[in-house]
Structure 1
Amino acid sequence: MAVYRVERTRDYTVMSNHHLKDPGLSLKAKGLLAIMLSLPDNWNYSTRGLAAICKEGVEAIGNTLKELEKAGYVVRRQLRGEHGRVGSVEYTIYEKPQTPPPDPSGPDAPSPHTGSPDTASPCTGFPDTVKPD
């Protein structure tokens, strides 16, 4: 079978094939990630902005972003504006998945100590009376 290649001279994107070969990603997630990697670094990422350049709607884009987040390709961080008010969302996009932080409520999370407190012989030695910093 013959392979035909187009000579690329401008307006093309160079990216890792890692996400394209990831069997854990849906075709939609692979495509959205490829589009996001092709956009300029200063592009204003938002679900509405991505929906404006895709056929899918805002909800489908949001669901696909969640899939990419869960897989570690996208890290979303809520920024705070003036006086701690919720501001814009900052997206960090990776060509290879980042190890997600462990889920504090996951199965491997350490269980909190829920035993009875020790009330026998409390320490009543010399308390620290120095003024704290």
Structure 2
Amino acid sequence: MVRIKKVYDKNYTVIGNTSINDSGLYLADKGMLEYLWSKPDDWDFYAREVAKHQKDGIDGVNTALRHLEENGYLYRGRVRNEKGQLKGSKWLLSETPKKEWSEYYQKKCEKRKKKPKVEKPIQAKPKQAKPKQENPELLNTNQTKYSSNKIKNFTKSLSKEEKERDQELIEILINYLNEFATRWRREPITFSEKEYDKLVKAVHGKDVGLLRKAAEKTVIYSEQYPQGYLLNCIKNLPDMKEEST
């Protein structure tokens, strides 16, 4: 028989034994719950930043978060204003499972499954002669507006896991925008569903550490169309792959 003797230290976190003894959780899930529980309430959570300090990687971090949601230890919702526009995110953490949270997660999953896929009909495109133009079309340098040729990389196809991962970055980005809007006494920036989807695709593969600067720049300098200005700022951010080379 082997007995474990505990060696106590001053730096510790107090958490109930419910999650530790929950057989429905993986060890990685329990570790993630304890890790989050050890952080202060005003701590900004970054999945990618947490992954840098863990051996599980970003996929392991996201998997543990989903398991905590599924079992009622974590609530991840979105906050909307009176017009129904996305304003930010709301995360709640509990050391004991909550049934209403797990039910909310199940409803989210069912809603995603039931979402119909709209198929676009194939239309024959008539061949038209292209007239010769002496002057080429000039690109608009005004960053307060964006055109289709400027955001063509926003429409690239992403997997389900990549979209969920990038949605977390958008929630962090929206929190930054709200923070700077309050600091500079500006109106909060809201996004339509289409603009939100473009943001999700735009942040894919970008340097997370520069999102805060892009949010601050948008709040300070954009006046006519901050949503488009922000999209262009994110587009010009360096990719993570480019930085590592």
Indicate the TM-score class for this superposition, using the shorter chain for normalisation: 0.5 to 0.7
1:28 aligns with 2:28: yes
TM-score normalised to structure 2 length: 0.37
5 Å-filtered alignment, 1:91-130, equals: 91-100=91-100, 101=103
Task: Return the TM-score normalized by structure 1.
Answer: 0.64
Give the equivalent residue in structure 2 for 1:62: 62
Contact 1:45/1:91 (<8 A) preserved: no
In the alignment, the residues of structure 2 paired with residue 76 and residue 62 of structure 1 have an alpha-carbon distance, to the nearest angstrom, of 12
Partner amino acid, structure 2, of 1:65 = L
Matched length? 103
Q: Post-superposition, which runs of at least 4 consecutive aligned residues in structure 1 deviate over 4 A?
A: 102-105
- Whichever structure has more strand as a proportion of its residues is 1
Contact 1:74 1:91 (C-alpha < 8 Å) held by counterparts: yes
The 1:90/1:53 distance shift into structure 2, 3 A limit, reads farther
Could you say which residue in structure 2 is the equivalent of 1:40? 40
Rg (Cα) greater in structure: 1
Measure the CA separation in 2 of the matches of 1:77 and 1:49.
Answer: 21
Query: Where is the helix percentage greater, Structure 1 or Structure 2?
Result: 2
Q: How far is 1:50 from its partner?
A: 2.4
Identity %: 29
The alpha-carbon deviation at position 84 of structure 1 amounts to 5.5
What is the CA distance between 1:80 and its match in structure 2? 4.2
* AA aligned opposite 1:56: D
Match in the other structure for 2:50: 50
Cα distance, 1:79–1:58 mapped onto 2, change above 3 Å: farther
SS of the counterpart of 1:24? coil
State the one-letter code of the partner of 1:63.
Answer: T
- Identify if the C-alpha distance between structure 1 residues 62 and 88 changes in structure 2 by more than 3 Å, giving closer, same or farther: farther
* SS of residue matched to 1:95: coil
Mind listing any 5+ residue stretches in structure 2 that lack a counterpart?
Answer: 109-245
Match of 1:79 in 2: 79
